[in-house]
Structure 1
Amino acid sequence: MAELKLLGLSYSPFSHRVEWALKIKGVKYEFIEEDLRNKSVLLLQSNPIYKKIPVLIHNGRCICESMVILEYIDEAFEGHSILPKDPYDRALARFWAKYVDNKAEALWESFFLKGEEQEKAKGEIYEMLKILDNELKDKKYFVGDKFGFADIVANGPALYLGILEEVSGVVLATSEKFPNFCVWRDEYCTQHKEYFPSRDELVIRYRTYIQPVDALK
């Protein structure tokens, strides 16, 4: 039997992507919780370049970066395909996954930073939401009629954005401004909640990092 370990954080959207893919494939794995303030020797050895989670260790071989890991999982294990079979759809899925992934830093900065830097990050997220609102009109999935690669990568705006909004009291994605995105997000969270971390635990975790707006008054 293959030995499979995942180094990650239970509240990280990047770790969550990988866990989701493994669950879709029906693959058993050992989850090893990391402390990024005191990184383990195993993490430092497994990802010596970036020293970041997640890292998938498959039979002693290390794969780093969540999107790279997703593609590896799809190719290494049998079961439901994560990436589309059609070459064009596969390219499209990679495009949207990369677009959303590139906005991850701005998403966190919209809530964790202050002043001009925060406003700049918010502007970038508003632009992303505008684009997604247009792209996801009358669509359940990014590509075709099946949940897949781009949808997993989009767990940031689909799930974690809502968590950060709840914790901070700052709402970026309103149904008035982005109706199509909000409909898609509600469907996403309803249909796939079995794969999500505990929402209550995520809220508790992120409250330790973000001060609500009311507390600043």
Structure 2
Amino acid sequence: MASTSNPDTHESPQKSVYKDPDDGRQRFLLELEFVQCLANPTYIHYLAQNRYFEDEAFIGYLKYLQYWQRPEYIKFIMYPHCLFFLELLQNPTFRNAMAHPANKEVAHRQQFYFWKNYRNNRLKHILPRPLPEPATAPSSAPPASLPSSVAPPAAPPLAPTPVTAAALSPMQYAIPPGSGLAKTDPRNASVDRRKRNRKDG
């Protein structure tokens, strides 16, 4: 007896592949925004405090997001520190440490120092240094006679000698005793006032 089964039931149903209605634009923007949020140590601290780093699916998502380090995606990143923190978040020790407020403050402080000093330190090595000027020996011959309307150039100022530099020190301006000028040291003003009050009393 032949089986009268429907031939459609033997065919394997085709798997429906999900396709973004906007060709992935919305997903691209959401992932870009999330990755760039990782540039903020306070946000990473928030994720650690709310135990996102204990979820294996979230850890897998952080690994997946490393595609932003590829050249075709990295050009969209405006805050490059997010990629540095994304790399650190692959380490479970760092994820656990960021749950503590003190570690969050350390990361934030180091990030600030990087922003403050990196450009200046980098420019020291990038910018070309000026070539030293050749030293020319002064000629002993007198200059040619100048027209009466042109004044000779003024001599350059002399570099301060150690004695001159010591004379310009603020410590040299101490008021000599018996000069009649009162010191305006705020630390001594309250002491003098107390002495006067005792004498008046």
Compute the TM-score of the two structures, normalised by the length of structure 2: 0.26
Q: Which is higher, the Rg of structure 1 or of structure 2?
A: 2
Flag the structure with higher strand content.
1
